[in-house]
Amino acid sequence: GAVVSQHPSRVICKSGTSVKIECRSLDFQATTMFWYRQFPKQSLMLMATSNEGSKATYEQGVEKDKFLINHASLTLSTLTVTSAHPEDSSFYICSARRQGNGYEQYFGPGTRLTVT
């Protein structure tokens, strides 16, 4: 149990376009989902926390208009990178916390975004 999928696993897009990444909890309900970003040789950095049915909470320095997060149901959260630029190229990974399960977070496999 506690499987999280993420789609797509890799995406290449042109500068100025928008890209949507989906994060799904497959066998549990996730009240809270998290979006992380990882630059080469760095740690996973939390971008935002989303709770089902409410607005996401963004970490300092993360532009909420650029990284749109929607958590429309207990099993799906989406991250849309709007008007992507080459500096948005990165590895994005989501995690989900099971309803009533305390601290544990279950991760998706991540999405490699390349903006040309």
Would you say 48 and 106 are in contact if contact means Cβ atoms under 8 Å apart? no
| CA–CA dist 72, 87 (Å, integer) | 28
| CA–CA dist 16, 108 (Å, integer) | 26
| CA–CA dist 25, 106 (Å, integer) | 9
State in angstroms the smallest separation of the CB of 65 from other proteins.
22
Pick 14 or 43: Cβ nearer other proteins: 43
State in angstroms the smallest separation of the CB of 46 from other proteins.
6
Binding site for other proteins (CB under 8 A): 4, 34, 36, 41-46, 49, 93, 102-110
State in angstroms the smallest separation of the CB of 27 from other proteins.
13
Pick 16 or 59: Cβ nearer other proteins: 59
